Amino acid sequence: MSAAPRASGLAARGALWLILLGALAFMLRLNLPGHLTVDSVLALHEGRFGVRTTWNPTFFGWLLGLLDRIHTGTALAVGLVGVLLFGSWALLPALRPRTSWLAPLVALGLVALPQAMIYPAIVWKDVQFAVAAVAGFTLLAFGVRDPHRGAPWISLVLAALLFAAAGLLRQNGLILALPAALAIAWARSGGGWLRSSGLAAAWLVAVAGLTLLLSAVAQPQGAGAPDDAGGKGLRILGTYDIVAASALQPGRPTPHIDRESPTAGAYLRQQAQALYSPERVDTISQDPAMSAYLKTVSRETIRAEWLDLIRHQPGLYLRIRALAFAQVVGTPVIDRCLPLTIGVDGPAETLKALDMPARRTLNDRKIYNYATWFMDTPALSHLAFAALALVVGVALLVRRDPADLVIAGLMAGALGFAASFFVISIACDYRYLYLLDLAAITGVLYLALDPRLKRA
């Protein structure tokens, strides 16, 4: 490369870094100490006092509690997420031999999106999960970018740590480790598939080991309810599908529930159409009578009824799942899918224990008003970002540089993660597929750095 193009590339890289640094500073200035919903407040309470009172992932509360002990509140949590995200984007130019002036121009538009300017400051496990995954794939790309040198183990170990954290923040997020491992094997296959597959397998073992270690460390040691979040989640999912089946097929028998609590079964069938919404499960729990009746039904009975639905009426089950999935991936009425949150909201007694007042300031309202300009546009559409992720992934597989394969793995992992909600979706909240948006944004920025499709 001649001196002039090299100087131009360095200038473009410098401009990109300035944009990302300025965007990070502005995001923090705009949003600190962060935005919290009920889930966030309860998780912070769990982390600060070492109790277990919700079915949030234990790691979420533990991480908030750890940072809270360093600096009271959630400002450090927001800062950590912001540095990880914008820092990952700032590292991307080092993966390419050149930096095009297209990159800073694209970055100017991308950092203005709510996904970059507001979401990192929302204290949600879904946000922390998505940012950990993007940072993990970025570090993984550094670990495989040069097939002629030994793998830089520090990059691979740190990536494994981030993947473990991501999997503990969202259990279905563990599926991301599979495309990541495949990317390792493929990117390092120049030295032989046997050797590269061994490296990928060793990395997967490291992710599993770190997941177990972090899970043990994050377990609360204080008094409180036992950690049965997984069981509670499955019960809620099963109940939702059972109610949906009765709503879509009126009069459908529920023999297991009827045997244990005939009153609960009768009320469920009578009210199913009024209780069911493909948008979210909350409409069921908001009925006091239904909630009371469901308490008389054991978890084992709900599971048996749910499994009967899956085994004996697979068509009905798939229809239920398709309706729920269409809501979470398409968010047809985005205003009802919690596109974002601002301020601080939570149970009064919990906020009092945390010495944290509820908050909804003029600045918070301005932030929300800014985000509304993006609603009902492709800028806040999972389907649009899914299409972008697919295009970026195909382009990178055409070029197939080692780092390209890892970023393509991020696109595939995000699409696979989104697809997993076909099975588990119970609400259309926009945050659930935040990873899909963030992965596509990362892929677009990476491709803009060097849009040539020829290998370097």
Place of tokens 């047809």: 332
Residue 53 sits in the same domain as residue 106: yes
Give pTM, 2 decimals: 0.94
Backbone angles phi, psi at 361, to 5 degrees: -90, 175
Q: Which candidate, 158, 198, 163, 162, places its Cα nearest to that of 179?
A: 163
Same-domain status, 109 and 258: no
Integer Cα distance of 228 and 234 in angstroms: 10
Is 146 domain-assigned? yes
- 26 domain residue, yes or no: yes
CA–CA distances in Å: residue 417 to residues 13, 59, 133, 328, 411: 32, 20, 11, 12, 10
Whether 323 maps to a domain, the answer reads no
* Last residue of one domain, picked from the residues 280, 312, 344: 312
Predicted pLDDT at 190? 80
Residues 244 and 362 in one domain: no
Residue with tokens 């923090």: 28
Same domain as 191, residue 109: yes
> Is residue 180 in a domain?
yes
Q: Has residue 395 been placed in a domain?
A: yes
* Shared domain check, 284 and 250: yes
pLDDT computed for residue 93 by the predictor: 95
Looking at residue 192, what is its pLDDT?
85
Does residue 325 lie in a domain region?
no
> Are 172 and 287 contained in the same domain?
no
Low-confidence stretches of the chain (pLDDT beneath 50):
222-227
| Whether 74 and 208 share a structural domain | yes
Of 312, 338, 363, the position where a domain reaches its end is: 312
- Answer yes or no: do 141 and 283 share one domain: no
For residue 131, give its domain range: 3-221+353-449
262, 291, 312 - which closes a domain: 312
Answer whether 399's CB lies under 8 Å from 363's CB.
Answer: no
Domain membership of residue 455 (yes or no) is: no
Which residue from 187, 174, 86 is spatially nearest to 129, judged by alpha carbons?
174
Per-residue pLDDT, 4: 64
Residue 416 inside a domain? The answer is: yes
Q: Is the bond preceding 226 in cis, omega lying within 30 degrees of 0?
A: no
Are residue 403 and residue 262 in the same domain, yes or no? no
Q: Could you tell me if 49 and 13 lie in one domain?
A: yes
User: What's the total number of domains in the chain?
Assistant: 2
* pLDDT value of position 223: 45
Q: Could you tell me if 207 and 173 lie in one domain?
A: yes
302 shares its domain with 440:
no
